Structure 1
Amino acid sequence: MTRPDALPAAPPPLAPGKFRDPYVTARGETRATVAPATLRTLWINTGTLCNITCANCYIESSPRNDALVYPTVADILPYLDEAAALGTGEIGFTGGEPFMNRHLPAMLDAVLERGFRALVLTNAMKPMRNHEDALRAVGARAGGRLTLRVSLDHYAAERHDVERGAGSFAQALDGLAWLSRNGFIVHVAGRSAFGEGEGAMRAGYAALFAAHGIPIDADDPVALMLFPEMDARVDVPEITTACWGILGKRPDAVMCATSRMVVKRRGADAPTVVACTLLPYDPQFDLGPTLAGALRPVALNHPHCAKFCVLGGAACAA
């Protein structure tokens, strides 16, 4: 359990000397960096409080962790103005559980009124259901520009519940079905940690969606995203400038080329911008109070950069 009086800190990598220097790797090679291409997605972290405590939550969300506090509409309006001027198309909301923040419906309205698309990452459990009326009203005004991505770690209840707690699968599936019945655009986020091939995972989800009348194409990698695991204690290779050619990857395809996240830390007077949705606590990824100032190169100096983004090829936005 996260100590309520301290920011969570990622455990150090297992291999000594790795991910220590933003410029060079433990072997003395030039570390890869990612230059900003365009701000395609601006993420708003709604706070780290969550109604459940997952076994492997990368941000250590729980009913007690308020290291990142609830932003208000007033907090995010300057960033929406900056994002509009930069040509950003999408505003994403993540947590914690975003619906724990009572300001979320009003924040969604502010986003949609300005012509952005909105994406909300949710576990679709009780906090979301507490906002049913407000959510329906927002959805009616959204004009197809609101998507809710529901975390459903596996298509089998027992595997999902190992991560999120007994009975959580049934609640999440019921919330997903409610969203579908009420005409929302719904996507699902699963995890690739169960030793099954991607084809078997997608077939399992397809059968689940069909059984419950949920119109999600399980073969669509955006509608059903299968995310790699993130564990900063697991030894992963550092990414050097040579890796782009070796791996056949492009730096502009990595998440920090096209996104930034706004967070509000407990005790802070104002929000700040961080490089990545995955690294809200590490000070080296804090890029300052404005989006303009935050659009600068990011050194891939964390295991998540390697495991999730470069080697995993994953991104939180589509």
Structure 2
Amino acid sequence: MNMMSAPPASDKKFAHPGVTAKGERRAQVALRKLDTLWFNTGTLCNVACEHCYIESSPSNDRLVYLTHEEMCAYLDEIARDGLGTREIGFTGGEPFMNPDMPSMLETALARGFEVLVLTNAMQPMMRPKIREKLLAIQNAYGEKLTMRVSLDHYSEKLHDEERGPGAFAKGIEGLSWLSDNGFTINVAGRTLWHEEEKDVRDGFAALFARENIAIDAQDPAGLVLFPEMDEEADVPEITTACWGILNVDPADMMCASSRMVVKRKGAEKPAVLACTLLPYDARFELGTTLKEASSSVPLNHPHCARFCVLGGGSCSG
């Protein structure tokens, strides 16, 4: 953008896609390659976490269940246009509440993609029919499938403060079942409690050893610790100069290599978004096809700064 033709700066942060409140050029991220395509299977969840990134709950159906047929249309587009996508991710809500989840999972794997599933490993995943299907899929595709279990904290007390009484025990039961049956697994923890990273990893390491769970808590890929976001917090806007100042490469941002498909309640067809963390912000809806969604993304939200640029967070495997 030529600053001579830029609109006047606003006194409010994150108000304009091209310029910051101070009138500086806002950073944008170009899609380098669609390495990961996420499918949000719906925002319904069996629990309502205190600090859920996208407010999933047993009653939130703002994003409705995506269907197997709708998913396949995007996989067809990847094949037709030779996009070279490596990974398909499934998130929610809780993906295993969606009745099409087993068929979507199997189809994505059968088409040769690596697949990452974000789950709380609780009752929806632990239903006998789902476990039977998962075992068959794991037996057929092995390490092509990774299950990432949300376990906010290594202590039952703090985890249950976030997810409700009994959630820790149920999550451990599901995680142990996955580990015992040879699934490729990792855990997603949270940094809500402002502990030193070493203490968090050591706490999870002790938990995994106690429960005989096959995860190396010292491995950042085995235990993924997500930075927290607060839309009301005062965070800096990211300008084009910030890349050099912070020594951060825009190619490392999530939106440089991924997109997410959602189906909004009442919508005729799914939409493609720039980010897994911003499902309700219309500014980050890029179109209905992957081709339409290949445009650059202005970093025009506090989450862009806090989670991605400053926090180094990424949902992808």
Aligned to 1:9: none
**What secondary structure, in the 3-state scheme, does the structure 2 residue paired with 1:137 have?**
helix
- Residue matched to 1:137: 136
Q: How does 1:40-119 map to 2 (within 5 A)?
A: 40-84=35-79, 85-119=82-116
CA deviation after TM superposition for structure 1 residue 16, in Å? 6.2
- Say if 2:74 and 2:290, in contact at 8 Å, map to a contact too: yes
For residues 174-202 of structure 1, the C-alpha deviation after alignment (integer angstroms, 9 at most, x for no partner) is: 10000011111110000112121111110
After superposing the two structures, state which structure 1 stretch, 155-164 or 138-147, moved more. 138-147
- Aligned pairs for 1:187-206 (under 5 A) are 187-206=186-205
Alignment partner, residue 151 of structure 1: 150
CA distance in 2, matches of 1:164, 1:26: 37
TM-score, normalised to structure 1, is 0.94
Shift of residue 222 of structure 1? 1.1
Residue-by-residue CA offset, 1:122-155 (whole Å, 9 max, x unaligned): 0000001011111111111213200000000110
Task: Report if aligned partners of 2:142, 2:183 keep a CA contact under 8 Å in 1.
Answer: no
Q: CA deviation at 1:293?
A: 1.3
- Partners of 1:138 and 1:99 in 2: how far apart? 14
**In the alignment, residue 35 of structure 2 is paired with which amino acid?**
R
* Equivalence for 2:179: 180
Using the alignment, how far apart are the partners of 1:305 and 1:287 within structure 2? 16
Name structure 1 gaps, 5 residues minimum.
1-14
Tell me the TM-score normalized by structure 2. Answer: 0.94
CA distance in 2, matches of 1:142, 1:155: 30
Query: What is the identity, as a one-letter code, of the residue corresponding to 1:83?
Result: I
CA distance in 2, matches of 1:180, 1:83: 32
Alpha-carbon distance in 2 for matches of 1:219, 1:259: 26
- Counterparts of 2:240 and 2:11, CA distance in 1: 21
CA offsets, 1:95-138, max 9 Å, x none?
A: 00001101100001110110001100000000010111111111
Look up the match of 1:22: 17
- 1:277 is aligned to 2:276: yes
C-alpha separation in 1, matches of 2:283 and 2:56: 21
| Alpha-carbon offset, residue 83 of structure 1 | 2.5
Contact 1:149 1:188 in 2 (8 A): yes
Give the corresponding residue for 2:7. Answer: none
Q: In 2, are the aligned partners of 1:42 and 1:83 still within 8 Å (CA)?
A: no
AA partner of residue 97 (structure 1): E
Whole-Å Cα distance in 1 between the matches of residues 194 and 233 of structure 2?
17
Say which SS state the counterpart of residue 84 (structure 2) adopts. coil
Alpha-carbon distance in 2 for matches of 1:195, 1:289: 39
SS of corresponding position for 1:189 = strand
User: 1:157-168 maps to which residues of 2 (within 5 A)?
Assistant: 157-168=156-167
Q: Do structure 1's residue 298 and structure 2's residue 293 form an aligned pair?
A: no
| Aligned counterpart in structure 2 of residue 128 of structure 1, from 125, 130, 140 | 125
Structure 2 unmatched runs, 5+:
1-9
- Cα distance in 1 for partners of 2:249, 2:301 equals 18
CA contact (8 A) 1:273 1:288 kept: yes
Alignment-mate amino acid for residue 50 of structure 1: C
How many Å apart are 1:79 and its aligned residue?
A: 0.6
State the 1:82 CA deviation: 2.1
Q: Give percent identity, aligned residues only.
A: 61
After TM superposition, give the deviation of residue 230 of structure 1 in Å: 1.2
Aligned to 2:30: 35
Q: Which amino acid aligns with 2:156?
A: A
Matched-pair contact (CA < 8 Å) for 2:94–2:119: yes
Contact 2:201–2:218 (CA under 8 A) maintained in structure 1? yes
In the alignment of these two chains, the number of paired residues is 304
CA distance in 1, matches of 2:94, 2:142: 24
